[in-house]
Structure 1
Amino acid sequence: MNGTITLLVVIVCLGTAGDAGAQTQGDERAIRQAIDAMTAAFNKRDDAATGAVATSDADFVTVTGNWTKGTKAYTEARQKRFATALKNASIAPVDTHIQFLKPDVALAHVTHEIRGMLDESGRELPPHRELSSRIFLKTDGKWLMTAFHNTTVATAAAAPSIQGTWRLVETALRAPGGAWETRPAPQGGLFVFTARHYSYFYVRGSERRARFADANKPTPAEMAAAYESFIAGAGSYRFDGRTLMLQSDFRKNPNEMTGETWQWDTQMDGDTVRFVFVNPPFLPGREWRLTVVRIE
Structure 2
Amino acid sequence: MKTTIILLAAVLCSFTTLAQNRKADAQAIEKQVDAMVTSWNNHDHSDMKNYTTVDCDWVNIVGMWWKNRKEVEFSTQFYHDRMFKKTPMQKKGVAVRFVSPTVALVHFTSHVGSFVTPDGHQLPAADDLALLVYVKQNGKWLMTAGENVVIDLVAQKNNPVNFMPK
Structure showing the higher helix proportion among its residues: 2
Residue of structure 1 in register with 2:104 after alignment: 106
SS state at 2:47 partner: helix
Structure showing the higher strand proportion among its residues: 1
Residue of structure 2 in register with 1:82 after alignment: 80
User: Normalised by the size of structure 2, how large is the TM-score?
Assistant: 0.86
Residue of structure 1 in register with 2:5 after alignment: 7
Give structure 1 regions of 4+ aligned residues with deviation exceeding 4 angstroms. none
Matching residue within 141, 150, 153 for 2:151:
153
Number of positions where the alignment pairs a residue of Structure 1 with one of Structure 2: 154
Larger Rg: 1
Structure 2 portions without partners, runs of 5+:
156-166
C-alpha distance in 2 between matches for 1:47 and 1:79: 6
Which amino acid in 2 is paired with 1:40? T
Which amino acid in 2 is paired with 1:121? G
1:45-124 aligned within 5 A: 45-119=43-117, 120-121=119-120, 123=122
Q: 1:16, CA displacement in angstroms?
A: 1.1
C-alpha distance in 2 between matches for 1:11 and 1:106: 28
The RMSD of aligned alpha carbons is 1.6
SS state at 1:59 partner: strand
Residue identity over aligned pairs, in percent, reads 26
C-alpha distance in 2 between matches for 1:59 and 1:122: 27
SS state at 1:156 partner: helix
Which amino acid in 2 is paired with 1:51? K
C-alpha distance in 1 between matches for 2:16 and 2:153: 42
Q: Contact conserved, 1:28 with 1:98, CA < 8 A, in 2?
A: yes
Q: Contact conserved, 1:134 with 1:147, CA < 8 A, in 2?
A: yes
C-alpha distance in 2 between matches for 1:11 and 1:155: 49
1:174-185 aligned within 5 A: none
C-alpha distance in 1 between matches for 2:50 and 2:13: 35
C-alpha distance in 2 between matches for 1:145 and 1:154: 25
User: Normalised by the size of structure 1, how large is the TM-score?
Assistant: 0.49
Which amino acid in 1 is paired with 2:66? T
Q: 1:31, CA displacement in angstroms?
A: 0.6
Q: Contact conserved, 2:44 with 2:77, CA < 8 A, in 1?
A: no
Which amino acid in 1 is paired with 2:120? S
